[in-house]
Amino acid sequence: MGVRAIGGNTAVMPWRPGGKARSLASPGMRTQHRRGEGRAHDVRRLRDMIRAAVQGGSYPGGQLPTEAELMAAHGASRATVREALSLLRAEGLIERTQGIGTHAVVRPADEKLVEAHGVIRPDQHSLLNRRTRPRLLDRSEIAAPALVADRLGVPAGTPCLRLEYVALHQEEPIWLATNYALFPEAARLRDSPFVTDWYALMAEAGVEFGQSEFIIGAEPADPLVAAVLGIAPGAPVLVTEQTIADAAGRPFDLAFVHIRADRFRFVSRGTRFPGREA
Site for a copy of itself in 54-93 (CB under 8 A): 55-56, 58, 73-75, 87, 91
> Does residue 253 interact with a copy of itself by CB under 8 A?
no
187 binds a copy of itself (CB under 8 A): no
Q: Which of 17, 60, 99, 275 binds a copy of itself (CB under 8 A)?
A: 17
Q: Does 241 bind a copy of itself (CB under 8 A)?
A: yes
CB of 96 to a copy of itself, least distance (A): 18
C-alpha dihedral (226, 231, 234, 236), degrees to nearest 10: -110
**Which residues 110-169 are close enough to bind a copy of itself by CB under 8 A?**
110, 113-114, 117-121, 135-143, 145-148, 150-151, 156, 164, 166
2 scored as a contact of a copy of itself (CB under 8 A): yes
Please say which residue, 131 or 135, places its beta carbon nearer to a copy of itself.
135
Of the listed pieces 29-37, 97-105, 123-131, 181-189, which binds a copy of itself according to CB under 8 A? 29-37
| Contact assessment for residue 79 and residue 7, using Cβ atoms and an 8 Å cutoff | no
By CB under 8 A, tell whether 188 contacts a copy of itself: no
CA dist 162 and 253 (Å) reads: 10
Q: How far is the CB of 135 from a copy of itself (least distance, A)?
A: 7
Residue 108, classed as helix, strand or coil, is coil
Q: What is the DSSP letter of 5?
A: G
Question: 21 or 100: whose CB is closer to a copy of itself?
Answer: 21
- CA-CA distances (angstroms) from residue 81 to 33, 49, 57, 95, 104? 20, 11, 19, 15, 16
If one asks whether residue 232 binds a copy of itself (CB under 8 A), the answer comes out as: yes
Regarding 256 and contact with a copy of itself (CB under 8 A), the answer is yes
Closest-CA residue to 179 (of 136, 218, 131) = 136
CA distances from 246 to 46, 125, 181, 202, 208 (A): 46, 28, 12, 12, 7
Please report whether residue 229 would count as binding a copy of itself according to CB under 8 A. Answer: yes
Q: Which residues contact 266 (CB under 8 A, 6 or more apart)?
A: 110, 111, 112, 113, 116, 216, 238
Shortest reach from residue 98's CB to a copy of itself, in Å: 25
Binding segment toward a copy of itself, per CB under 8 A, in 23-31, 99-107, 124-132, 181-189:
23-31
Rounded to an integer, what distance in angstroms lies between the CA atom of residue 38 and that of residue 29? 12
